[in-house]
Amino acid sequence: MSLLARHLEENGIPTVIVGCARDIVEQVGVPRFVFNDFPLGHPCGKPYDDDTQKGILDLAFTTLENAFVPRTTVQSPYRWSDDESWRDRYMRKSED
C-alpha cells in the first residue's frame, strides 16, 4: 500500500496511510501516515469497535486536510487495550 500511495501522490492524488507497522511505512516514505500502535492486521482497531474506527477515520481525514509537510506521521491517541499485555501474547500460537 505504501508504494501505491507514493505512486498516486506522484500523479496528483492525495493519500493517507493508516497502519501499524511504523518502521516499514516510514522507511518507504509515504506522504501522510496515521500510526496506530495496534497488532498487525488491525490498523483501525478491534472488530465492531465503531467509536474507535470512526475516530481513526476522522483523524485520517484531518491528516489528509492539514498535513502539508512531506512524510508526515501522526500518532493516534487510541490504545488497543487498557494495558500492554497484548504485546506478550501477540503472535503466540498457544497460551503457554
Query: How much is the pTM?
Result: 0.84
> What backbone phi and psi angles, to 5 degrees, belong to 55?
-65, -40
Facing residues of 19 across strands? Answer: 35
pLDDT of residue 89: 72
Cα–Cα distance list, 34 to 14, 20, 42, 44 (Å): 14, 9, 13, 10
pLDDT of residue 14: 93
Between 49 and 6, the higher pLDDT residue: 49
State the cell numbers at 31. 506522504
CB 76 within 8 A of CB 47: no
Q: Tell me: the pLDDT tens digits for 19-37?
A: 998 998 999 889 999 999 9
State the cell numbers at 23. 518502521
